[in-house]
Chains A and B, each alone.
Chain A
Amino acid sequence: MNSAAPLAARRRQRNAAERRFRLAALAAVCLSLGFVVFLLGTMAVEGARGFVETRVTLPIDLKAAGLTATDGEARFAAAIDDAATRAFGRNGPACLAEGSWMHLRDAVRQDPALLVRPGSIELPASSPVDVAAKHDGTPAAEAAVARLTAAGALSRGIDWAFLTGADATDPVRAGIWSALKGSLLTLTVTLLLAFPIGVLAALYLEEYAPRNRWTDFIEVSINNLAAVPSIIFGLLGLAVFLGTLHLPRSAPLVGGLTLALMTMPVIVIAGRNAIRAVPPSIRDAALAVGATPVQVMFDHVLPLAMPGILTGTILGLARALGETAPLLMIGMRAFIAAAPRGFTDPATVLPVQIFLWSDQIDRGFVEKTSAAIIVLLVLLLSMSGIAIWLRQRFEARR
């Protein structure tokens, strides 16, 4: 009885320690998951604004201005300035985005009746007004928003031009299509190089390679390449592809080559695991009925290993799609005002575009950056979704 009391106390103490430890572990999980939610939530809230544009409804009478559909930029711009001054006062023209005259020209071409009778047209608001309408802006812009709201001229809509436009100095007009196309071109080069080379190398190492020093050396190289910091690949691309081979700077070709070297080890490692998982009975059966080693490999082993290889390839490409540092090294950070047309045109890619926009001082770019991040994350998530789907389908069948 005497020893029972300290024992019970000690047990309580130990159980309390157990609960504390368990709580601490749970807290670590919650904290990490909370960070995921916080990061994605911040980006989603900020980025959603980037997809919305503020529009100004401008009453316009082109008959008085004597405009014709074939006039140039200067006359359209003057007509807009004139109408804006008349409708919203002296600061009116500053409320409209820089490229508004193009909208007017397109509207006139679509509906020539605008030239002869008074009407109204919806134009994108300028960046300060846009920022002020969504949250806090400069005092002058807030005043302009109050005036426009009083006149009932402000409205909101989805900014389709963001998905179809190219980079611009004015955040209202900046779009991500050029960066997206650059990413697609770059990934095409990466896929075309890394996939065949990676699969063939994996086949060699699993099916043919004799156990000797050379094979060990190849294996060590591949495993080590998978862990080399990505910026080192950028230095390699700079020294070899630009410095020695004189390939064009900033081109998707060079970016794709650099990323292919980075992605290849990932594909080789995934490919080897998938090939190793093919049951040996398949090989034995095929060899027994007279197939040659190459026939066994391409007709039996490879088709069975393909889902696993494809999963690894998609994950490798997803990593390449999100990669920024090596592409900065090879000059894919230029201001690209038009979408690249080929593999050797100067281009930029989505992550680099995000990096460039994040450096801009204009507040309008903050939400554009987040919107571009959303586009990038949606692409990456759908790629990993496809990879997971492939893996599950594959595992279910076996």
Chain B
Amino acid sequence: MTTTGLLFTIVGLALIGWLSARMRAAAFRRPAIQRFGSLPVHHAWVVALWVLGPPLTFLVIWSLTSPALVTDRVLASPLAAALPASAFERASILSDARALAQGSGGVFHPAAVRLAPAYAAAQRHYDWLASAAALILALAGGVFAFVRVSPAFSARWRLENGVVLLLLAAALVAILTTAGIVGSLLYEAARFFAMVPAIDFLTGTRWSPQVIDPADPGASLGALPLFWGTFFIGAIIAMAVALPLGLMSAIYLGQYARPRTRAWAKPALEVLAGIPTVVYGYFAALSVAPRVRDLGLFLGIADASSESALAAGLVMGIMIVPFVSSTADDALRAVPAEMRDGSLALGATPSETIRHVLIPAALPGIAGGVLLAISRAIGETMIVVMAASGVATLTLDPFASTTTVTKQIVDLLTGEAEFDSAKTLAAFALGLVLFAATLLLNVVALVIVKRYREAYE
């Protein structure tokens, strides 16, 4: 049975359970002698939840475990005896066979073509088992709940508990996602560090994943230039643009502008935050990069690249402006009005008040906002994928080509490589570093902002 068909059947069973439980419960009320704690609809929902809950929980768990079971069954079949011993080759043939069994086209290994029928058979076998088990669970749950429909049964409170469980499960999805991110990054990165020593990866200065020497993969997978490039583009160049523009915009809109100007200028500025990054990337590659290169040549820099760090960083800075400006605006507004009024009353001009009173008082909030902005900039992908170069260089020259962690993750994973090679696993190691860096920045920013808030409240 197909997944959709199975789901429809289960939902259909739940509907039948709902209707029949409602009818049965409605029948109690006819004599109207006593008042009941539960309405018929409560009974109906309890039965429906009993029909839906067990099989759906089972199917979620099953979908996580069954692929391994199917593979085991295929490997146990006599056809699999001819498979090569190498784990990489074996995995690639198996994944080809899986793709064939699922009906996708393409070029496949001949061994995979032989194995595909066995794969399809194993898949069918387990699908059939799972469908039967899910249906039995649905029926059993429904019958169990249905026989308990009686005037004495407090369906209303059962339903309350069931709904709370449902809500808790929804809230747990967030934890599962976090666990999934950390788990998958750690697992794949651990496999990577089994092939390449961590010290080579973190401190090596040569990054050329196109040619990896199988004997010493660490020699061409030194990620230091990527870390530098990410920091250079995201934290230095982008912030050099975003910090003055964002802070000064916040000062003007928050302290000088008339309310009517602010009412239209602030949303207009926030349009920048709503533009998809792929549009910025296109703009950076099409309009900004050639001009930056011309500027570099004009300044006499002979090797000015059309994929320079400056072009990507400039556009990224523009993208971050509304973010910096709104956090700076919040921080400036949070400064108690007495401080500003006191300064103005002593005869300071508005700009002196802003520079000597408001900004120092709001500094922790602004710094927290800047850290969050940096975390967003270094995680930004499309601008650097489209405008930065793929060549990793350790350089201070903004006109030279520089690459970043995110750009390399995309490049490593969109090639034709095997899923298990050092090259693709390197992407997960880079992802782990990126995740850790952004997490650290976010936590530090939150701590700064929180402390500062406590100081004034």
Contacts and interface: CB of A to CB of B under 8 A. Distances in A.
Interface of A: 14-15, 17-18, 21-22, 24-29, 31-33, 35-36, 39-40, 42-43, 196-198, 200-201, 203-205, 207-209, 217-218, 221-222, 224-225, 227-233, 235-236, 238-240, 243-246, 248, 261, 264-265, 268, 292-294, 318, 321-325, 328-329, 333, 351-352, 354-355, 358, 366, 369, 373, 376-377, 380-381, 384
A377 B279 contact: yes
B276 A229 contact: no
B177 A264 contact: yes
14 contacts: A17-B351, A18-B349, A29-B269, A201-B173, A201-B174, A204-B168, A209-B171, A229-B379, A239-B428, A243-B419, A264-B173, A351-B382, A355-B281, A355-B382
Interface in B398-457: 406, 409-410, 413-414, 419, 427-428, 431, 434-435, 438-439, 442
Nearest to B427: A235
Interface of B: 63-64, 67, 98, 102, 104, 156-157, 159-160, 163-164, 166-175, 177-178, 180-181, 184-185, 187-188, 244-249, 251-253, 255-257, 265, 268-269, 271-272, 274-279, 281-283, 285-287, 318, 321-322, 325, 349-352, 354-355, 372, 375-376, 378-382, 385-386, 406, 409-410, 413-414, 419, 427-428, 431, 434-435, 438-439, 442
B269 A231 contact: no
B410 A373 contact: no
Given A33-B265, A221-B177, A373-B279, A200 B167 contact: yes
B381 A235 contact: no
B276 A225 contact: no
Contact of A376 (B167, B279, B283): B279
Given A204-B167, A377-B275, A39 B283 contact: yes
A158 B370 CA distance: 46
Contact of A292 (B160, B281, B285): B160
Given A204-B167, A235-B428, A333-B414, A227 B438 contact: yes
A240 B181 CA distance: 9
Contacts, number: 249
Given A231-B431, A244-B64, A264 B174 contact: yes
A325 B435 CA distance: 15
A204 to B, nearest CB: 4
Decide if the interface of chain B is mainly helix, strand, loop or mixed.
helix
B170 A197 contact: yes
Given A29-B248, A232-B434, 9 more contacts: A18-B349, A25-B251, A32-B318, A203-B167, A221-B177, A229-B434, A235-B184, A235-B185, A328-B414
B381 to A, nearest CB: 4
Interface class of chain A by DSSP: helix
A241 B347 CA distance: 64
- Nearest first, the 9 A-B pairs at minimum CB distance are A229-B379, A322-B276, A28-B248, A200-B170, A25-B252, A204-B167, A21-B351, A239-B184, A325-B381
A207 to B, nearest CB: 8
A201 B245 contact: no
Nearest to B377: A229
Nearest to B161: A294
A354 B98 contact: no
B283 A235 contact: no
Given A29-B253, A35-B318, A221 B175 contact: yes
| A17, A25, A42, A245: residue with the most chain B Cβ atoms closer than 10 Å | A25
Contacts of A27: 248
A329 B406 CA distance: 11
B252 A26 contact: yes
Contacts of A33: 265, 268-269
B171 A205 contact: yes
A246 B252 contact: no
B180 A236 contact: yes
Contact of A228 (B244, B409, B438): B438
B163 A28 contact: no
Contact of A200 (B64, B160, B166, B439): B166
B275 A39 contact: yes
Nearest to A236: B181
Contacts of A32: 245, 249, 269, 272, 318, 321-322, 325
Contacts of A42: 283, 287
A351 B276 contact: yes
Contacts of B372: 227
B170 A201 contact: yes
A28 B67 contact: no
Contact of B439 (A18, A224, A384): A224
Contact of B286 (A26, A265, A366): A366
A309 to B, nearest CB: 14
B64 A225 contact: no
A18 B185 contact: no
Contacts of B173: 197, 201, 264
Q: Most chain-A Cβ atoms within 10 A of its Cβ — which of B378, B413, B427?
A: B413
B18 to A, nearest CB: 16
A197 B181 CA distance: 18
Nearest to B435: A232
A195 B87 CA distance: 41
A202 to B, nearest CB: 9
Contacts of A196: 170
A373 B382 CA distance: 14
Nearest to B261: A29
A351 B174 CA distance: 26
A381 B248 CA distance: 27
